[in-house]
Structure 1
């Protein structure tokens, strides 16, 4: 089964920040970096809205975590930069119509979100059932991350750096990095990403 994965999102409280244009500029820089890293197509719209279309559906959860971690890591002093994300996954039927159902699921999903910061919407019942609750737990965990914890996990996830390399890049001790990853519950996030990636891959090979 060929799957399509789409992330639709918008920045949280961007207009209430002291320099919203800087916030939006940072989003564009981050999306450009992650689009190249994950081989994904990115687009921004309505000022603080954006969409990421994954070439490899199994990478979509990693990309979602990277977006939130990257924004949080770049937060201006005294502010919290973050985004709401709606993840849509469906069978890729773009050969029969211009847009996959994943686009609709993701867009409508974001419109229907209230206080949630990360949700999944899929027309594959098994995948929805497996991922919905752990994704809610993950969102609650990321909601508590500090910029330092987010920056440390971002380097761990996107750049694949070990703790010593992260410490050297940040100019901090390895102990400090270890503690930041522990506070971020990095091992649990890693397990979540491994599980979700595996579930999508299993569905693709079904």
Structure 2
């Protein structure tokens, strides 16, 4: 079965930041970076809305975390850039940019009120395994500081070891290590590893 993971999102508080265009440009920069890393297709719409489709559905959860990490990491001083993201997972027709996953993702975002990261699927086993833990992950990301997001974003994209990340960010290695610990990097890595298993099982069902 061909499975797609579709990420539909919108920027949080886009009308209340000091420079809305800079916020939108920041989103585009993140999406361009992730396109080079994950080979995804992306569209922006309604000003602050966006939709992202990874080439490999197994990367859907990781892309969602990467988008939020990249945005928070780029936040200007005194503000917080972030996004709500609905992950829709479902069967798809190869080569077609529509189908169940697109509908679930779009409707899911429309129904998200206080939640910043949600999973939507008609597969009961996937929901049992992943829906609640994804809400816990959302709660973790909601509390990230800019430095924690910067450290995890670099870690996720594999831009080097902790020493390299520290040098690139102008921080000490100890500071980066502590930022990754505070940001729950180890547990998030385990979540992403589990998500790849969930998606592989769904694709092979």
TM-score range, shorter chain: over 0.9
Secondary structure of 2:15's counterpart equals helix
In the alignment, what sits opposite 1:188? 187
TM-score (norm 2): 0.96
Q: Secondary structure at the match of 1:15?
A: coil
Q: Which runs of 4+ in 1 moved over 4 A?
A: none
RMSD across aligned C-alpha pairs, in angstroms? 1.3
CA 134–98 in structure 1, closer or farther in 2 if over 3 Å, else same: closer
What do residues 84-134 of structure 1 show as CA deviations (whole Å, max 9, x unaligned)? Answer: 000000012357x76121000000000011011000001111111111011
Aligned residues: 205
Question: What whole-Å deviation, never above 9, does each CA across 1:136-173 have from its counterpart, x for those lacking one?
Answer: 00000000000000000000001352211111211221
Q: TM-score, normalised by structure 1?
A: 0.96
What's 1:110 paired with?
Answer: 109
Q: Counterpart of 1:167?
A: 166
Unaligned runs of 5+ in 2: none
Cα offsets for 1:59-104 (capped at 9, x unmatched): 0111000000000001111101000000000012357x76121000
Q: C-alpha separation between the residues in 1 aligned to 2:97 and 2:39? A: 20
> Distance in 2 between the 1:122 and 1:173 partners?
42
Structure 1, unmatched stretches of 5+, are: none
1:127-146 matched pairs, under 5 angstroms: 127-146=126-145
The 2-side partners of 1:62 and 1:99 are apart by 21
Secondary structure, counterpart of 1:9 in structure 2: strand
